[in-house]
Amino acid sequence: MAAGTFLILPALDDGEAILASPSGSGYETQRLAAAELSSLDVSDVVLIVPGQWVRIFETELPKAGRAQQLQMARFAREDDIANSAEDLHFALSDAQPPRLAVIDSAVMDVLTERLSGVKPKAAYADYDVLSGESAILVIDRAVEPGLSAVDLDWTEETLAQPTDAALADLFEEGLSKGDSLNLLQGAYRSKSGFSVPRFPAVRFAALAASALVAFFVWSGVQDRAALAQAQDLRKKTAAEYLAATGDRAPSNPGRTAVQNLQTGSTQSAGFLELSVVLFSGLAQLSDTRVDQMRFNAENGTLQLRLIYPDFDAAARVETSVAQAGGQLITGGVREQNGAFVGEAVLSLGGGL
């Protein structure tokens, strides 16, 4: 049986959208000019967005709260994204480790404005829903299931051309697998689809990752509620450590994790290891925050831009990060729009 109503959007401004409504065991469809979409008044619609607008990345993030995973994913993929992160909308899949979807916020805003009468319950990139080996014609674009979508001018491949009703069936079949990434998150989240995020238990095998998550939360706390959440996460990490080892958790789990990594079989610093060190050091300095962070895989360092409370704070940060097991080399500090900004490079080392 058909699962729900689809609105399959065109990629081109002069294209036609497909509205597919359940009818019996299939779908009844109609085509609508893009200019007509603003007059639609339908609820609980599943939007199918042109894949050209959306990039989806695999991640290797530890299990954590959604907000913390999203922050880590944004930092980890900064090099792969040309636009400023401030101009982009990010969404994570439910599967673990999650996939990260990136779409221009301006596109989401235009959709919200043009579809003002439509109350969507979810939105998906077309290629993320469709499956199979053959490229498919979807209105005005070629969709490679599971891979990408391109304008028709960019491909000479022979395309499968299902009817509109058959196309809706294909999208329903893809969504029934439950693997697709819903783009309606954060500021664009469906009001009717609100659910309380779940925080899975921290396992001993992911202790270093758990410490990283705690420090991400700790470094960004701005109010009492967030501070309480960070403290609670640290208590859970300590409890899991005790249950797994029979020993009390070390006072600085981030530093311990880094020391274990340094004495293991690999000596190369990765993004997670360096992040553990960084945020364990900054946990002692609530007045310093990370503005930008970029991982350099070639030399195993984090390139940072930090916001300090004053000109002299850089030296205090260097000392604190060294105590956490890292070596932070800071540059000059400059005043910019009322804030004290400076670049820095973090590598493993230190241990004062």
Same domain, 169 and 243: no
Predicted confidence (pLDDT) at residue 330 exceeds the cutoff of 90:
no
pLDDT at position 183 is 94
Asked whether the beta carbons of 39 and 137 are under 8 A apart, the reply is no
The whole-angstrom separation of Cα 350 and Cα 97 is 31
Same domain, 279 and 332: yes
The whole-angstrom separation of Cα 33 and Cα 8 is 12
| Last residue of one domain, picked from the residues 170, 193, 216 | 193
Same domain, 166 and 229: no
Tell me if 210 is assigned to some domain.
yes
Same domain, 170 and 259: no
Same domain, 284 and 261: yes
**Mean pLDDT score, 69-73:** 75
pLDDT at position 338 is 75
Same domain, 277 and 217: yes
The whole-angstrom separation of Cα 43 and Cα 193 is 12
Residue 130 one-letter amino acid: L
Same domain, 40 and 162: yes
Condensed to tens digits (0 to 9), the pLDDT of residues 111-160 reads 888 888 888 999 999 999 999 989 999 999 999 999 999 998 888 888 99
Tell me if 198 is assigned to some domain.
no
Specify the pairing of strand 136-138 against strand 54-58.
unpaired
- The CATH number of whichever domain residue 337 belongs to comes to 3.30.1360.100
Residue by residue, DSSP assigns 154-187 as G-----B---HHHHHHHHHHHHTTT-------GG
Same domain, 30 and 147: yes
Among 48-57, 234-243, 334-343, the range of highest mean pLDDT: 48-57
The whole-angstrom separation of Cα 176 and Cα 243 is 39
When pLDDT is cut at 50, 70 and 90, the band that residue 267 belongs to is very low
Q: Percentage of the chain surpassing pLDDT 70?
A: 72
* pTM for the model: 0.55
pLDDT at position 301 is 86
Tell me if 186 is assigned to some domain.
yes
Closest by CA to 49, choosing from 91, 2, 111, is 111
| Last residue of one domain, picked from the residues 193, 212, 237 | 193
pLDDT at position 255 is 47
Tell me if 199 is assigned to some domain.
no
Condensed to tens digits (0 to 9), the pLDDT of residues 78-110 reads 555 655 667 788 898 888 888 899 998 888 998
pLDDT at position 191 is 58
pLDDT at position 197 is 30
Beta strands across the sheet bearing 54-58: 54-58, 99-104, 88-92
Range of the domain at 221: 204-348
- The CATH number of whichever domain residue 94 belongs to comes to 3.30.420.380
Tell me if 159 is assigned to some domain.
yes
pLDDT at position 235 is 58
Tell me if 16 is assigned to some domain.
yes
Same domain, 33 and 53: yes
Tell me if 211 is assigned to some domain.
yes
Condensed to tens digits (0 to 9), the pLDDT of residues 219-240 reads 343 334 434 444 554 555 555 4
Predicted confidence (pLDDT) at residue 9 exceeds the cutoff of 50:
yes
How many domains is the chain partitioned into structurally?
2
Same domain, 103 and 171: yes
The whole-angstrom separation of Cα 17 and Cα 164 is 10
Q: At what angle do helices 253-262 and 207-220 cross, to 10 degrees?
A: 140
What's the chain's average pLDDT?
76
Residue 157 one-letter amino acid: E
Specify the higher pLDDT residue, 34 or 183.
Answer: 183
Same domain, 99 and 169: yes
pLDDT at position 265 is 38
Same domain, 188 and 208: no
Tell me if 223 is assigned to some domain.
yes
| Last residue of one domain, picked from the residues 172, 193, 214 | 193
